[in-house]
Structure formats: C-alpha cells, structure tokens
Copies of this chain bind each other. A is one copy, B any other.
C-alpha cells in the first residue's frame, strides 16, 4: 500500500503571521528586529528568542511564516506530510488574558493554514499539513481556561495535538494543578509535543563565546530531560496512562540517564514509594522524535523504549533482559526542526535534514519496516491519519 512509503515530519515549526506581528511590535525578547544589513544596506529581519542572544539574533525570512515556503521545503526534501507547531517561546511571555485570546486565535489560524494546504497527490484524503495547537500556559491562567482551549483544539479537524514548553503555569509540568489538563488532553486524544525553550541557567556556559552551541546542543535537551523526569517523579504517567507525550530531540539526555535515574530513585525510599514502576518503564510509554543526528543515538533510544516493559512493576527484579531493538522503533518519529538549522551555503537539501534521514537509514538492527515506521508510518498512526 502506498502509505508505507510516506515521509512525515512531526518536528517542524512556524511563527504564524499573527504571532510575527506581535514579535515585531515588541521591544524586548522575544522579538523580531528589523535592522539594516551591514553587507547589503538592505533591511534585514532578525529574530531574538532568548535573552543575551549571540550574534545579534538569527536572520529570519519567509521560511519562518509563509506556508508556501514550508511546502517548498517539504517538496525539496520529499516530505509528504508535516505536523506543524508554533516555535518557542509560544505565549509564555504574555499576561493570562492576552495569552488566552491569542492561543485561541492562533489555533484558528493554524487550522486554516492546514485546511488550506494541498492534498497528497496519491492519497487524496490526506492534507500536506496538520498542526499542533497552543494552550495559554502562563502563570496566573485559570485551569478552566486551559480546558476550554483543549476543547477548542479538539474540535479543529486539522489540529492533532498541542505543543508545550516546560514551565506549565509557573511551577513546571509536575504541578498537580495541571492534572485536569492532562486528563482533558488524554480524553481528547491529543498528542502533547514537549519542547524546550529555556535551557538551563546561562552561567553554566562560562565566559567564552561559543555562539548558540552550548544552549542549543546541551541546554535544550537538558530542559526536556528535566521536565520529563519531573513528570515521571510526579506520577503523571501512573495517573494518566493514556496520555501521549512526544519528546523533542529524542528525549534529550533522558534515555542515557534513565538507568542512573532508576538507581537514584531506588536509593530514596520516599520517592520510590510514590511510583508504580521502575523509572525505565515510563520511557516505553513515551514517544520520541528521531532528531538526534546519529544512527547510534537513534538506535540507543530504540533500545531503551524496547527494554521498558521489562521494568514494569510485575517484571522488576528479573535482571537485565536483552530486548529487541526493533520494538522501540514503534515510538520514534522523523522530524526536521525546520526552519531552524538552515544550511550555511546555498544547497538544494538541508544538511540537518539529510543527516537525520541518513541516521534513520543507518540504524543497526533496524530493517525496512522499522525505518518506514519511523519515517512516516508511526506518525500516520499516532495522529490518526490512516
């Protein structure tokens, strides 16, 4: 069947025009600043997402907001379907009422963006574009406002999930007052795409100028790792076992630290007593994008997913069981991180995309079926597109 060869990108971002207008109007980060190019004298847009952004921010253009550019990028790289999400920092910096209004408007905008996209030539029931909506997750927002937005999104036919950062409504995602939100998201069958924005305190990077390398390469995955670990420790996955959480950047460092995490929990009886399972079990309940840039990394993530069931409460203590790496492929999904990591030189295909595709193809122990799953079949199933 034709569907077995689809390429689906589940990690691809946009700043919707309504949002870029807001970024242009702002005088502090996040903002888009129009300056004059020192090289050409022409006006140049620069995006400043974080405080102390190196190099005066990153140059931005229509690839950050125009649907045609998204489709062009998809065509160049053979991507059939994209699940588009707003890029960080979402609505984090807004007061509650403004965040709520804008979330609702941006969700409608994204629905229109997706609904108006072409259908696939060989699968006319499929659009090229689907989306992750936004919740107004800001300090001070009343939980009912969040639930209302969940309801809004669940009724928008092209929105299949939500993207969120790690701060919740101010105290992180392990805040128990978010339980009704996890419940509503589970009930609505919306996938939660967890994505970093803040990294860790910039003092960790030291005084040397290494551009964006340290916050992006390390800070981003650390943030995802911390947020997911705090979710595990808070028992969210015990209370909401049908919640579908998708982790950006292959879960950051969580896979590699998961056995250490389990050991640290084992040595703390109070924390251990709160959880139904060994920490490693919960990694098998999660979904991971395959944005890890190397076949060994992707294969390893697949290993930790595959082994997870051997760490359920019922099997715990039976020792290390060698798991079939192929099983883990069912919870990993191709992504590009477009429009970030653009190529430095004019080139047909983006290196960041090509590398992730090559990495999937080179995973040792995966056959054609596993690779096709990760490239697209898992996404079609997870988001209910088949």
Contact = CB atoms under 8 A, between A and B. Distances in A.
Interface of A: 171-172, 174, 200-201, 203-208, 210-214, 216-218, 221-223, 225-226, 229-230, 233-234, 249-250, 252-253, 255-271, 280, 292-297, 299-300, 303-304, 307, 319-320, 322, 341-342, 344, 351-352, 355, 358-359, 362, 364
Given A262-B293, A300-B256, A271 B201 contact: no
Given A267-B344, A296-B303, A257 B217 contact: yes
B253 A221 contact: yes
A296 B300 contact: yes
A60 B206 CA distance: 34
Given A217-B260, A253-B222, A300-B256, A351 B172 contact: no
B213 A204 contact: no
Contact of A216 (B249, B264, B297, B307): B264
Contacts of A355: 259, 263
Contact of A218 (B207, B261, B295): B261
Given A259-B292, A259-B359, A300-B300, 19 more contacts: A174-B208, A210-B268, A211-B271, A213-B265, A214-B226, A214-B233, A217-B261, A218-B225, A218-B226, A222-B222, A258-B294, A259-B293, A262-B293, A263-B352, A296-B300, A296-B303, A299-B300, A319-B358, A320-B362
A273 to B, nearest CB: 11
Contacts of A259: 292-294, 296-297, 355, 359
Contacts of A351: 263, 266
Contacts of A344: 267, 269
Nearest to A262: B293
A255 to B, nearest CB: 6
B213 A200 contact: no
Nearest to A323: B296
B249 A212 contact: no
18 contacts: A174-B206, A208-B233, A217-B257, A218-B225, A218-B226, A221-B253, A221-B257, A249-B260, A253-B253, A256-B292, A256-B297, A256-B300, A259-B355, A263-B351, A267-B352, A294-B320, A295-B320, A322-B362
